[in-house]
């Protein structure tokens, strides 16, 4: 049983001229209140539970349960239905709030935005997320809706190409499974399996409430107090270790699919096997890799402009680094007549950089862009709230990220460059046009 | 927030919303001339070529590096079509100078780069490499072709083409492909010349005072005489004389349905009737508490999405849904049934109140996005409408249930486009196959 006292701390950044209050509530819930002089208030109730968590044990049991793929996302859909038959979407609409939800690999988020008094909507958010109600018939009726969602994503070439990359990079890791599951897997979901997942992960100690807008921390705390229990129940979920069996190398280096696309699209994945356990170190690696990506792949850089001018790639070109506690990879995506040539050219360029060395001027440029992007992210209550949730899931602190970017040195990036982009850790995923198209 | 509009000098107008709440400001430059089918194609190529370099930054890489130096500033050049006109619009997002640690004047730097793009592009130099033109034509054709990658977007676009009919001043995508393919260097230069002889309109949202921006604009554009004559603009609601339907088969899992309804009302200086259409759309399929969401998706489980959207510029309400191929008639019937409910006046007070709150929420959210504020004001100023966000919300509050019912009874289904997914098969069918 955790302690039944309220703890309060205020986090500040003079660089950003921002601050927020973090309450550790006696119920176990972390409550983040970020006052912001904008019209829209944005609130999220988030859970550290996503599609990666499909093997676990329940409290008091050593038995590992394996649940159907897509169940975290299914649960997200079903939580909006209440015991009295009402739908929380409609309640939010009555309060003038625009509600939504999403499920990712490592989290589920229930959210709303409003431009009026948000007290009722906030109460509703806490209430519906903490009061599950599933029936056989409501589960059955959701299957058809989610099956259509799955088909919609199945028809999306960029989605299929992205998952092709993950399936190529990882042999066992649950990240290779689609967040929504499959038409077959969701048909195995029952109200009992939904309750098992809910009970395993939807404990307030595993959750955060985040409110960003023209709000006062004490007012938000008072609303939360009225809707939350006064103490935290016992909570332990035994995580599975399936993901630790993953090889250092990629599972399949080349994945190809055919779909209705005008020209081939590609995702190149660079598997990263070195994930720091310390959250601050993980954030620093995230920042350093983002700067390195800017130095190598940016539209201001030699590689992009050379490939673009020679028509090797089209302007649709993106890149990014993703890291969390259990998985990390770098990816480059785009459109090209010959994606294999793109990979070849990228590897040549990396080889050239290895012998010639990285440019310090590019490093400073990349750092400047990263800093600017981070500062700009504080212009939206939506961005701030979602970033706070992402940092909560990673045990990090949002405002410190500006200093973390600043602390990255050219030597850090050079060292990172040496250990990244190893040829046996690369998967090329391609979606080609259908032959008869 | 403080809004002001002023003439900087002959041919340059400046609108400013001065506010301190954003960490990045937005500045947009637009030059407007009458729309023609050929100009749509030439505008697409011109906007691509302008971004390829300038005399001071003679390659795309050099231009992008300069923007990175200006703290990751971003400039987008595009050709925008509104009513009878088209505009060349250059929009930039710039970090506010107070968050720049080394004293770089990012806003001033960005205005210089934009002036360079407009007045001294590589395109107009004698040594211009014509291969850039060929490449921009290929890129534009690839982009138009890539529309089939997203069947939802494709179905809605095809439906809107059916709504417009053959006499539209805007080309269909297949016509546009032909026009783009035949664009010459001279076409692009001619369009640039025409564009630069129209008035320059600048819109800024951020913390820099308007007089400072005006001084900077006067100094930067001192050598160029922009035009004085504004192209008159107007819109009228689209309405077909007869129903049009088209279908295509595609190798995809999910079929897509798009239905185009004419409301007969659109944005206008003299008629506020389109506010009732905004309410109608919201009640019908504009949110998760709308009739389409609650009934077609939640109650009947026919789809993952079934939503409507309303264009204030065409007066068209478009319903879009991803469905099983064999459920076309059922879904179409269910959609029309929900519209029928509204026509009969079956709108509860709570539905009406939720719809109104939802639109008001949308309007108020504009205050939080410099891009959206700029689009809101520019989209109205283009037609000489001086509405503000506040006046729009006031007008919306005047709309009654009777207004919505009356409009619903005038609305007509004018077009339907259907993509029949050939890889489909209902969820039940797939279960049996497993």
A23-27, B206-210, B213-217, B227-231: the lowest-pLDDT one? B227-231
E strand or H helix that includes residue B224: none
Q: What is the pLDDT of residue A411?
A: 98
pLDDT over threshold 90, residue B426: no
Catalytic residue among A7, A19, A63, A76: A76
pLDDT over threshold 60, residue B419: yes
The reply to whether A375 touches chain B by the CB within 8 Å rule is yes
pLDDT over threshold 80, residue B385: yes
Q: What is the pLDDT of residue B219?
A: 97
pLDDT over threshold 80, residue B223: yes
| Selected residue of B20, B23, B286 to mutate for chain A interface (largest A Cβ count, 10 A) | B23
Q: What is the pLDDT of residue B429?
A: 37
Could you read off the pLDDT of A302-350 as tens digits, one per residue?
999 999 999 999 999 999 999 999 899 999 999 999 999 999 999 999 9
CA atoms within 13 A on the CB side of B420: 10
Alpha helices in B172-301 (DSSP H): 173-181, 185-196, 210-220, 274-281, 291
Query: In chain B, which among 295-314 make CB contacts under 8 A with chain A?
Result: 297-298, 301-305
Respond yes or no: is residue A90 known to be catalytic.
Answer: no
The reply to whether A219 touches chain B by the CB within 8 Å rule is no
In Å, the largest CA–CA distance within chain B is: 74
pLDDT over threshold 90, residue A59: no
Q: What is the pLDDT of residue B433?
A: 30
Two structure tokens written together for B313: 């510029």
Q: What is the pLDDT of residue B434?
A: 26
CA-atom Rg of chain B in angstroms: 24
Q: What is the pLDDT of residue A61?
A: 78
Distance from the B360 Cα atom to the nearest Cα atom in chain A, whole angstroms: 8
Could you read off the pLDDT of B143-163 as tens digits, one per residue?
999 999 999 999 999 999 999
Cβ neighbours of residue B134 closer than 8 Å, sequence gap 6 or more:
none
What's the pLDDT band for B247 if we cut at 50, 70, 90? very high
Two structure tokens written together for A399: 């405002």
Is ipTM beyond 0.95? no
The reply to whether A184 touches chain B by the CB within 8 Å rule is yes
Helix axes B106-119, B210-220, angle to 10 degrees: 40
Asked if A314 lies within 8 A of B139 by C-beta distance, the reply is yes
Sign for the CA dihedral angle at B215, B216, B222, B225 comes to negative
Q: What is the pLDDT of residue A246?
A: 86
| Global pTM exceeds 0.80 | yes
Q: What is the dihedral of CA B38, B43, B48, B53, to 10 degrees?
A: 120
Pairwise pLDDT comparison (A241 vs B238), residue with the higher score? B238
Region B320-346: mean pLDDT is 97
- Averaged confidence pLDDT in chain B: 93
The reply to whether A97 touches chain B by the CB within 8 Å rule is yes
Asked if B369 lies within 8 A of A87 by C-beta distance, the reply is no
Region B204-232: mean pLDDT is 94
pLDDT over threshold 70, residue B388: yes
Q: What is the pLDDT of residue A62?
A: 77
Region A64-89: mean pLDDT is 94
* Residues of chain B neighbouring A142 (CB-CB closer than 8 A): 301
Residue A404 Cα to chain centre, angstroms: 20
Instruction: State the Cα–Cα distance between residues A432 and B232, nearest whole angstrom.
Output: 46
The reply to whether B424 touches chain A by the CB within 8 Å rule is yes
Chain A's closest residue to B59, CA to CA, is: A305
Q: Going edge to edge, which strands form the sheet with A265-272?
A: A254-259, A426-433, A265-272, A328-335, A317-323
Instruction: State the Cα–Cα distance between residues B99 and B267, nearest whole angstrom.
Output: 39
Q: What is the pLDDT of residue B1?
A: 72
Domains of chain B: 2-220 (3.30.830.10), 244-425 (3.30.830.10)
Could you read off the pLDDT of A345-371 as tens digits, one per residue?
999 999 999 999 999 999 999 999 999
Q: What is the pLDDT of residue B231?
A: 83
Domains of chain A: 7-239 (3.30.830.10), 247-433 (3.30.830.10)
Q: What is the pLDDT of residue A60?
A: 75
- Averaged confidence pLDDT in chain A: 94
The C-alpha angle A398, A402, A403, rounded to 5 degrees, equals 110
pLDDT over threshold 90, residue B85: yes
CA distances from A27 to A109, A301, A389 (A): 19, 50, 18
């Amino acid at each position: 049983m955790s302690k039944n006292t309220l703890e309060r701390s205020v986090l500040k950044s003079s660089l950003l001229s921002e601050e927020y209050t973090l309450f550790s509530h006696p119920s176990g819930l972390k409550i983040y209140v970020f006052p912001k002089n904008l019209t829209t208030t944005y609130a999220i109730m988030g859970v550290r539970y996503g599609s990666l968590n499909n093997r676990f044990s329940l409290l008091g049991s050593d038995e590992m349960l394996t649940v159907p793929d897509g169940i975290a996302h299914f649960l997200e859909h079903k939580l909006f239905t209440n015991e009295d038959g009402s739908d929380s979407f409609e309640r939010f609409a009555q309060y003038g709030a625009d509600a939504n939800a999403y499920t990712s690999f490592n989290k589920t988020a229930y959210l709303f935005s409003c431009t009026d008094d948000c007290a009722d909507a906030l109460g509703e958010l806490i209430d519906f997320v903490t009061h599950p109600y599933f029936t056989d018939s409501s589960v059955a009726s959701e299957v058809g809706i989610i099956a259509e969602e799955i088909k919609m994503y199945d028809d999306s070439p960029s989605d299929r190409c992205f998952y092709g990359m993950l399936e190529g990079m990882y042999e066992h890791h649950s990240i290779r499974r689609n967040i929504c599951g499959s038409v077959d897997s969701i048909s195995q979901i029952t109200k009992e399996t939904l309750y098992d997942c809910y009970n395993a992960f939807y404990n307030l100690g595993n959750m955060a409430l985040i409110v960003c807008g023209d709000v006062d921390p004490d007012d938000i705390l008072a609303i939360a107090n009225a809707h939350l229990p006064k103490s935290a129940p016992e909570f332990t979920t035994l995580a599975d270790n399936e993901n630790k069996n993953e090889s250092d190398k990629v599972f399949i280096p080349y994945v190809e699919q055919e779909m209705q696309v005008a020209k081939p699209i590609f995702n190149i994945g660079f598997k990263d096997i070195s994930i720091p356990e310390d959250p601050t170190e993980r954030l620093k690696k995230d920042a350093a890799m983002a700067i390195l990506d800017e130095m190598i792949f940016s539209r201001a850089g030699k590689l992009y402009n050379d490939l673009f001018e020679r028509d090797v790639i089209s302007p649709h070109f993106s890149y990014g680094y993703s890291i969390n506690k259990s998985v990390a990879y770098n990816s480059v995506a785009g459109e090209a007549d010959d994606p294999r040539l793109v990979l070849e050219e990228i590897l040549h360029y990396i080889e050239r950089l290895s012998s010639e060395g990285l440019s310090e001027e590019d490093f400073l440029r990349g750092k400047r862009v990263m800093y600017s992007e981070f500062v700009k992210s504080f212009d939206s209550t939506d961005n701030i709230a979602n970033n706070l949730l992402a940092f909560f899931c990673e045990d990090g602190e949002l405002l410190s990220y500006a200093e973390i970017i600043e602390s990255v040195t050219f030597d850090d990036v050079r060292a990172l460059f040496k250990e990244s982009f190893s040829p046996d850790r690369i998967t090329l995923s391609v979606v080609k046009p259908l032959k008869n198209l | 927030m403080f809004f002001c509009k002023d003439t900087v000098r002959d041919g340059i107008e400046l609108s400013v919303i001065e506010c301190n709440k954003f960490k990045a400001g937005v500045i947009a430059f637009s030059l407007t001339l009458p729309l023609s089918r050929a100009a749509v194609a030439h505008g697409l190529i011109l906007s691509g070529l302008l971004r390829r370099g300038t005399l001071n930054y003679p390659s795309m890489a050099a231009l992008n590096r300069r923007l990175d130096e200006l703290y990751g500033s971003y400039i987008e050049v595009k050709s925008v079509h509104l009513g009878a006109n088209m505009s060349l619009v250059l929009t930039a997002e710039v970090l506010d100078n107070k968050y720049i640690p080394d004293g770089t004047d990012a806003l001033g730097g960005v205005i210089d780069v934009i002036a360079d793009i407009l007045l001294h592009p590589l395109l107009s130099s004698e040594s211009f490499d014509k291969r850039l033109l060929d490449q921009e034509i290929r890129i534009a054709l690839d982009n138009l072709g890539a529309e089939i990658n997203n069947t939802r977007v494709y179905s809605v676009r095809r439906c809107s083409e059916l709504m417009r009919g053959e006499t539209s001043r805007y080309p269909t995508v297949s016509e546009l492909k032909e026009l783009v393919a035949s664009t010459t260097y001279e076409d692009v230069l001619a369009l640039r010349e025409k564009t630069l002889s129209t008035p320059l309109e600048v819109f800024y949202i951020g913390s820099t005072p308007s007089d400072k921006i005006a001084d900077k604009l006067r100094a930067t554009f001192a050598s160029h005489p922009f035009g004085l004559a504004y192209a008159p603009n107007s819109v009228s609601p689209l309405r077909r004389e007869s129903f049009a339907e088209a279908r295509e088969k595609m190798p995809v899992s999910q079929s897509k349905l798009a239905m185009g309804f004419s409301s007969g009302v659109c944005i206008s200086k003299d008629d506020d009737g389109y506010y009732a259409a905004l309410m109608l759309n919201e009640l019908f399929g504009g949110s998760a508490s709308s009739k389409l969401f609650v009934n077609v998706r939640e109650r009947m489980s026919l789809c993952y999405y079934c939503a409507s959207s309303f264009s204030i510029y065409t007066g068209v309400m478009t319903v879009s849904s991803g469905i099983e191929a064999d459920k076309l008639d059922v879904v179409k019937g269910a959609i029309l049934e929900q519209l029928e409910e509204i026509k009969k006046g079956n709108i509860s007070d709570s539905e009406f109140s939720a719809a109104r709150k939802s639109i008001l929420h949308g309007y108020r959210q504009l205050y939080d996005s410099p891009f959206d504020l700029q689009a809101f004001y520019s989209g109205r100023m283009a037609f000489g409408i001086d509405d503000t966000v506040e006046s729009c919300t006031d007008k919306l509050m005047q709309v009654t249930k009777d207004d919505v019912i009356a409009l619903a009874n005038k609305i007509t289904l004018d077009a339907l486009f259907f993509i029949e997914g050939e890889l489909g098969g209902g969820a039940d069918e797939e279960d049996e196959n497993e």
